[in-house]
Structure 1
Amino acid sequence: MPTEFSPLIAYYEERNHLMVAARTDRNFVSIFPALTAGYPYVGSISWQTSITSASKASWRAAHAQQVAELMRLVQSPLAFSSLETDLHGKQQRLVHKSLPTDTGKDFTWSEEEFTVRDYSEGLPGLVWRNFYGPPFLRMFGERLGTLPSGCRQALGEDIVLVQPYELPTEAGTEAGMARERELISLLGPECFYNHERRTLPTRRPVLDALGQSLH
């Protein structure tokens, strides 16, 4: 039986976002346009699934090809795949703020802010799987060739997968973070947000025309 897409399209046009969940509540696909951002960044497509899927080598191989094909379909120069907590921690930082009040005591609160708002500002760091399209291949240039062979994989001529460790569960471990730092040093620290100093990347990609970000 063919899928009827009209209700999904109508919902998206009315609400400016869309989430589709599998009956098992195991897989979720979301589309969010960036209503206030300018070109070339226009929004994000996210796919969430169970972490146990990544334990299978066959799933990981198929996943890499699927992400690459989706990037080409929507002309995205960048995609990430990781634990949600790890990606969130690299894309957001907690900022403590305060305001004086009439009582003489400051009103204090904390809120999250972006490290980089989108890929036009550079990269927030390395996660489990980092898919780089042409603008980032040009930015890194020959440095990609200095990465250990087990940490990089060409997915055609236009996309390279950089993967610090085999499984997403290694994110946040001492070994995982050490490998991330090693690869960042090879690719160029100036291309990434500095989480210790809280400074933006000083080297950024020269972007092509319209692109979308995938997470």
Structure 2
Amino acid sequence: MAARTDRDFISIHPITTGAPPYTGSISWMTSATQASKASWRASHTKQVLEVMRLFQVPLALSGLKTDLHAKQWRLVHKSTPMEGGKEFTYSEEVLTVPDYSKGLAGLVWRNFYGPPFVRMFGERLDSLPPECRQPLGEELVLVQPYELPTEAGTETGIARERELISLLGPECFYDHAHHTLPTRRPVLDSLGQPLH
């Protein structure tokens, strides 16, 4: 429960059934208007890097909730036979990519890549336009297709995402047109950590 004026929320979603590398997620939600301030974007970068280091995760994504959802989930229509020869038809949302060990669902506003993804992309990261790539030290790179999260889903934003995906390698990303998993994936150890 939150007050009507509350705008910042943090939620932690542990996964208790399953095995590494994916053991849950941390979500921080705020108003997209905050991102219009350059000082906020700079602080956001520092905060995300601190969380990545603290939890030793190789990937963090920031974007509009609707854009993240559209890339990470898809609606699948299913049917189950019933008595009398009829079928029960229903729809279910399923993950496009179960976890980052299986590759990437797409590009969003801000994509923070740690060592396994930097190694996976290799020199292709250098082919990105300089305004879309920001090295952050310690084998960390921020890939940002557009300046503001509100550009996601626009014609220009979608075109820029496609351009960057073609430069990074489409095989590293989920194919939304054909619903196929990436064929190129990061190399992780059994705990989901980068191999050194």
Same fold, judged at TM 0.5 (above): yes
For residues 166 and 103 of structure 1, what CA distance do their matches in structure 2 show?
57
Amino acid at match of 1:87: L
Give the superposition deviation at 1:160.
Answer: 0.4
Please give the TM-score of this superposition, normalised by the length of structure 1.
0.85
- In 1, the alpha carbon distance for the partners of 2:125 and 2:131 equals 12
Distance 1:74 1:173 in 2: 33
Task: Give 2:76's match in structure 1, choosing from 69, 87, 95.
Answer: 95
Residues 1:21 and 1:58: Cα distance change in structure 2 (over 3 Å): farther
Shift of 1:103: 4.2
Cα drift, residue 108 of structure 1: 1.0
Unaligned runs of 5+ in 1: 1-19
Matched, 1:146 2:127: yes
Instruction: Work out the CA distance in 2 between the residues paired with 1:181 and 1:90.
Output: 13
Shift of 1:153: 0.4
1:50 equivalent in alignment to 2:31: yes
* Per-residue Cα deviation, 1:7-43 (whole angstroms, up to 9, x for no partner): xxxxxxxxxxxxx978941111111111122122221
Q: Please tell me the residue identity of whatever aligns with 2:25.
A: S
In the other structure, the counterpart of 1:160 is 141
Q: List alignment gaps of at least 5 residues for structure 2.
A: none
Alpha-carbon distance in 2 for matches of 1:101, 1:209: 42
Counterparts in 2 of 1:78-157, with a 5 A limit? 78-157=59-138
If asked which structure has higher relative contact order (CA below 8 Å, sep 6+), I would say: 1
User: Given the alignment, which residue of 126, 139, 160 partners 1:179?
Assistant: 160
Q: Which amino acid aligns with 2:119?
A: R
What is the RMSD computed on CA atoms of the aligned residues? 1.8
For 1:194, the equivalent position in structure 2 comes to 175
Is the contact made by 2:102 and 2:181 (CA closer than 8 Å) also made in structure 1?
yes
Q: Deviation at 1:211?
A: 4.7
**CA drift at 1:129:** 0.3
SS of residue paired to 2:182: coil
The match for 1:11 is none
- Number of residue pairs the alignment of both structures matches: 193
Structure 1 residue ranges (4+ consecutive) displaced by more than 4 angstroms after TM superposition: 20-24
Does the aligned pair in 2 maintain the 1:152–1:163 contact within 8 Å?
A: yes
Matched, 1:65 2:46: yes
| 1:75 and 1:210 in contact (8 A); partners too | no
Instruction: Give the secondary structure class of the aligned counterpart of 2:23.
Output: strand
Q: 1:16 is matched with which residue? A: none
The answer to whether the Cα contact below 8 Å between 1:22 and 1:28 also exists between their aligned partners in 2 is no
* Distance in 2 of aligned mates of 1:22 and 1:41: 32
| Corresponding residue SS for 1:41 | coil
- Determine what percentage of the aligned residue pairs are the same residue: 74
CA contact (8 A) 2:101 2:192 kept: no
Deviations 1:57-92 (A, max 9, x none): 110111111101110111010000000010011110
State the secondary structure of the residue aligned to 2:137: coil
- Cα displacement (A) at 1:97: 1.0
Q: Which residue of 2 aligns with 1:36?
A: 17
Shift of 1:47: 0.4
Cα distance change on mapping 1:189 and 1:118 into 2, 3 Å: same
2:58 and 2:115 in contact (8 A); partners too? yes
